[in-house]
Each structure stands twice: as C-alpha cells, then as structure tokens.
C-alpha cells in the first residue's frame, strides 16, 4: 500500500504494545540511572490505553489520532506522556478530514509533531531527548513514498541518533542534574522512541 491509513495506525499501536513486553524493564533500568526508573512502566500503561481505544470505526486519520491523543492524556501525567499526546494532537490537526495520506507526508507530520513537542516541553534539539530521535527519523524518511524504504530508513536513523548522543550529556529534565553521569548512557525517552520505531517498522 502506498498510503498511510487508519489500519496502519492500528497495526503500529499493536506492534508497540507487543514490544513493551520486553521493553518495559529495559526502559525502567535505563531511567533508573537518570530518573525515577518508571519510563518503561509509564509507556506500558500509555500504550495499553492506546490499544484499548477503538479506532476501527473512526472516519479519518484525524479522528484516529485525536482519539489516541485523548487516550494518552488519560493514561499518564508524566512529561513524556504529555509530549506523546501533544504529538498525536498535532498529527490530528494536520490530517483533518483525510482517510489516508501518502507515505511521503510522514516526514512533515513528524517534524510538525516535533516542533509542537518542543514548544510544549521547552527542550530544543541537541539537548539529548526524544526530540532528537524524532528529528533524525523525520530527516531520514523525507521524500520517501515506499513503506519498506521508510521502515528501513527510520530504523537506521534511530541507531545513528543513539550512537551520536551516547557520549553527550543530558541538558534538560531530571537527567540534567546528573549531566556528567549521563555521558555514556542513553536518554530513556530517546531510547524508548528508537526501540518502538524498530518494533513498528517490522
């Protein structure tokens, strides 16, 4: 298929839910070194709530993203969860009234969501957060309209951004208080995004 539909979104949520079975403890462990140690548990609750949302009868991508955003907001009050919901609401606005979009529109969708999340959370590119991972993936899939090429490029970009920031320090959030300690560690939000991209891209 050459277009992103509500079925693709449902499949992505299903893939993410399946992946969290293995990822929950991995992400909790990563977060325990720099934060509260609950990133994996929080994302599991959030994605479970997304999976419970019945989007099969939604008439458009916009309605689907909007319903998922509401589910995300009701699942957690964490900063990462709030950013997640902000990205989904942005995607909803950008797909208003459309049943499908070309794969080539995924990059601008990600870029707009990134910008909305930056405005909401106050972080900027280079701070070693999930935003850097979203940015890298958006650049990698720009102009691509083949889903296989999109998946491969997104997965490669995720690994690139993890390697690039591994030896950088975290500059925002709770992790900034352990800036020196964060060198040689993955930011939990960035790691979560990359691992979920891997899972969904399969």
Structure tokens at 105: 């529109």
pLDDT (mean) for 98-109: 97
Predicted pLDDT at 97 = 92
pLDDT, tens digit, 9 for 90 and up, residues 10-69: 999 999 999 999 999 999 999 998 878 999 999 999 999 999 998 888 999 999 999 999
Q: What's the CA gap between 164 and 122, in Å, rounded?
A: 22
Q: Which helix (H) or strand (E) holds 102?
A: strand 100-102
pLDDT, tens digit, 9 for 90 and up, residues 133-183: 999 999 999 999 999 999 999 999 999 999 999 999 988 766 556 566 779
Structural domains present in the chain: 3-201 (1.25.40.340)
CB 103 within 8 A of CB 2: yes
78 pLDDT tier (thresholds 50, 70, 90): confident
pLDDT value at 88 more than 70: yes
Greatest extent of the chain over all pairs of C-alpha atoms, in Å: 49
Q: Which of 91, 92, 7, 78 is nearest to 44 (CA)?
A: 78
Q: What's the CA gap between 64 and 171, in Å, rounded?
A: 34
Q: What are phi and psi of 125, to 5 degrees?
A: -65, 140
């Amino acid at each position: 298929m050459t277009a992103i539909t509500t079925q693709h979104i449902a499949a992505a949520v299903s893939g993410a839910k399946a992946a969290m079975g293995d990822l929950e403890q991995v992400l909790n462990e990563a977060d325990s070194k720099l934060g509260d140690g609950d990133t994996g548990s929080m994302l599991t609750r959030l994605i479970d709530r997304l999976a419970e949302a019945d989007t099969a009868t939604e008439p458009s991508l916009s309605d689907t993203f909007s319903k998922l955003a509401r589910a995300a907001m009701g699942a957690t009050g964490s900063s990462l969860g709030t950013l997640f919901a902000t990205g989904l609401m942005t995607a909803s606005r950008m797909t208003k009234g459309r049943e499908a979009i070309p794969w080539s529109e995924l990059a601008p969708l990600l870029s707009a969501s990134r910008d909305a999340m930056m405005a909401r959370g106050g972080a900027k590119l280079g701070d070693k957060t999930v935003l850097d991972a979203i940015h890298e993936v958006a650049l990698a899939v720009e102009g691509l309209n083949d889903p296989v090429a999109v998946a491969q490029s997104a997965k490669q970009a995720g690994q690139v951004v993890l390697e690039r920031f591994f030896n950088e320090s975290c500059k925002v959030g709770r992790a900034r208080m352990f800036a020196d300690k964060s060198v040689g560690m993955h930011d939990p939000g960035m790691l979560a995004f990359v691992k979920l991209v891997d899972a969904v891209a399969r």
